[in-house]
Amino acid sequence: MSTPKYEQVASAIRDQIRTGELKPGDQLPTTQGLIEMYGVSYGSVRTALLILKAEGLIEGRQGEGVFVRHPASR
């Protein structure tokens, strides 16, 4: 059985954070940008972001977007 698309997106973003491609304070692309980048649905992107938020890797800022969290604030 294949990996769910939301987990593929979460894994890709997680890897970008681990490798330093996305650094603390960096803003993630918009939801629409992620949909286009990964070729998945809104639901898949939303679920992936919720997983990463629960893991303490990202944070949403009202009216600003989604950002990589600083390690000290995780």
> pLDDT digit string (tens) for 6-25?
999 999 999 999 999 999 99
> For residue 58, what are its two tokens?
């990202």
CA 47 – CA 71 distance, rounded (Å): 22
Q: Where are the domains of the chain?
A: 5-73
* Topology of the domain comprising 5-73: Arc Repressor Mutant, subunit A (1.10.10)
In one-letter notation, the amino acid at residue 37 is: M
pLDDT exceeds cutoff 80 at 41: yes
Quote the percentage of the chain above a pLDDT of 70: 96
Whether 73 has a pLDDT exceeding 70, the answer reads no
Using only C-alpha atoms, what is the Rg of the chain? 12
